Amino acid sequence: MFQPKFLTREERAALALQRRAEQAEEETFDLNKLQEAVKVRYLGMQKEKKKRGRRLHERKFVFDWDASEDTSQDYNKLYQKRHEVQFFGRGAIAGIDVNAQKKSNNVFYQAIMEKRRTEEEKIMEKARLEKEKMKERKSAHDDRHWKMKPLEEMTERDWRIFREDFNISIKGGRVPKPIRSWEECGLPDEVYQAIQKVGYKEPTPIQRQAITIGLQNRDVIGVAETGSGKTAAFLIPLLVWITGLPKLDRQEHYDQGPYAVILAPTRELAQQIEEETNKFGELLKIRTVSVIGGASREDQGMKLRMGVEVVIATPGRLLDVLENRYLLLNQCSYVILDEADRMLDMGFEPEVQKVLSYLPVSNQKPDTDDIEHEEALMNNFATREKYRQTVMFTATMSPAIERLARAYLRRPAIVHIGSAGRPTERVEQVVYMISEDKKKKKLVEVLEGHYEPPIIIFVNQKKGADLLAKGLSKLNFNPVVLHGGKGQETREYALQALKDKTKDILVATDVAGRGIDIKDVSLVLNYDMAKSIEDYTHRIGRTENICSTLIDATVAGSLAK
């Protein structure tokens, strides 16, 4: 009979430990086996096969033939000398030209196929061949410069190089190609003749791109340095539209207000735009009136009641005229904001918004993809009831400008010339680090550097401009002063005296830094450093030669921060 064996506690613990060790070893073996199976199944690993040893009795058959064993040449004499066939004067065996036969057969089969083909198939085949030829012409590399090509041969690569040459960058959907010259612009004859008489020889970069966009009735934001020809860039599309309207309509509806309103931040800029517009207006019979402060509101109201096509104004005075019922904007379909960043900096944003609220809502563009469709916009552009077109030009693209554009522009095309907010690269910029008590002495030293008039000196305060001008007069210089504290007649006299060269030096505040067109300025001198980079950009834009800046060491430290 089986007798159970009783184990002690130590023996039971040792036995349990042995069982756990055996179980763990079995689990490890199973896990390794499973891992090997996974690798073979999913990782493509194969087991190493043992190389099979070659058996002694297996021999490889070698096909080695010795050239001396070839007896075919000696066997038949025909192999030694090939027989020459007689061609009977036709150049082919037995007088038959195989190539000529194939050619005649092809002509025969083509004639049969031509009879069987319908007229529609012939047209489709011709179009296919033309398409293939066009593809071959496009794929062929043409290394000619775009100046050497006619307009119809310009490729996308050529237009890309064209924009790079003039530093033009664009955004905003389908933007038309720029213009290469006035002759290729497709302008009406009367407008083209006016451009020639005014003396515009070649379009500037902003004009090359902005004019084509404006002629499509698209809203435009132009970002370009000062002095880049922005005035003509927005005037020419406006003149094309107005001259395309029937003259009878222009005479009958004069009491409904102007067709276009141009807003400018300063009186001087508004007068400059008026002067430029009148150059075209005299040739194209377009009436223009400037509505600015410092002049009689009643006189301006009388001119407006007589009928005008274009009104050029500062925001404050235009709002005053609208509120007092001197002017209606019932048929205004063209709005231009020139130097828009300056208007916002001067605090005119509420006035601008109120002026725009007087515009009719019936001609607003729909905010859909249709307003980017070229054909639809062109058809609408040629009518008196065209969509309202808003054009904004600025030297810098600030958040305030973007906010204004989102509110009043519909899917605008944005044109950048150069780098926004950067000073023009054509100007040599010189900086003098000098203490405040030595600035006048350095100023006289710079002015005696044989610079041809006119010269512009910028200061930050009106009182400082008057004192500096008096000091220069005592030193036998010939200055004139321009700032916001002067009356309108005095400001006009200052600019005209500088243009007529009866005065040599203009001492001005930043009023003269925006849009003032004084030709051949040899030197711009910042007696006081501009308060912002935007103001400095506009100051330096008054010249294409040299800009000198006198900076105090303490001011330089604050600018560095």
Tokens 């029937």 locate to 246
- The residue among 267, 304, 265, 268 whose CA lies nearest residue 288 is 304
Kindly report the length of the chain: 561
E strands of 264-386, at which residues? Answer: 288-291, 310-313, 334-337
What CA–CA distance (Å, rounded) separates 93 from 97?
Answer: 7
What CA–CA distance (Å, rounded) separates 419 from 342?
Answer: 18
What CA–CA distance (Å, rounded) separates 35 from 47?
Answer: 14
pLDDT at position 261 is 95
Question: Residue ranges per domain, the chain?
Answer: 151-417, 428-560
- The residue among 561, 520, 512, 560 whose CA lies nearest residue 543 is 520
Q: How many CB atoms lie within 10 A of CB 491?
A: 23
Dihedral angle, C-alpha 177, 178, 182, 184, nearest 10 °: -20
pTM above 0.75, yes or no: no
Fold observed for domain 151-417: Rossmann fold (3.40.50)
**Does residue 219 come out as left (phi exceeding 0), alpha (psi in the -120 to 50 range) or beta?**
beta
Question: pLDDT tens, position by position, for the chain (561 residues)?
Answer: 445 566 677 888 888 888 888 888 888 877 888 888 877 777 665 555 555 655 555 555 555 666 666 666 555 666 556 555 555 555 555 556 667 777 777 777 777 777 776 677 778 888 888 888 877 766 555 667 777 788 787 888 888 888 888 888 888 878 889 999 898 888 888 999 999 988 888 898 999 999 999 988 889 999 887 667 888 899 999 999 888 887 766 677 777 889 999 999 988 889 889 988 999 888 888 999 999 988 888 888 888 888 889 999 999 999 999 998 888 898 898 999 998 888 888 888 899 999 999 998 887 877 776 666 667 666 667 666 788 899 999 877 778 888 888 888 988 999 998 765 555 566 778 888 888 888 888 888 888 877 888 888 999 888 888 999 999 988 888 899 988 888 878 888 888 888 888 888 999 888 766 656 677 788 888 888 888 777 787 777 777 666 777 766 554 444 444
SS3 for 484-508 is: CCCCHHHHHHHHHHHHCCCCCEEEE
Domains 151-417 and 428-560 in one fold: yes
User: Token pair for residue 113?
Assistant: 């196929």
Q: Which residues contact 407 (CB under 8 A, 6 or more apart)?
A: 353
Fold observed for domain 428-560: Rossmann fold (3.40.50)
Cis? peptide before 399, omega within 30° of 0:
no
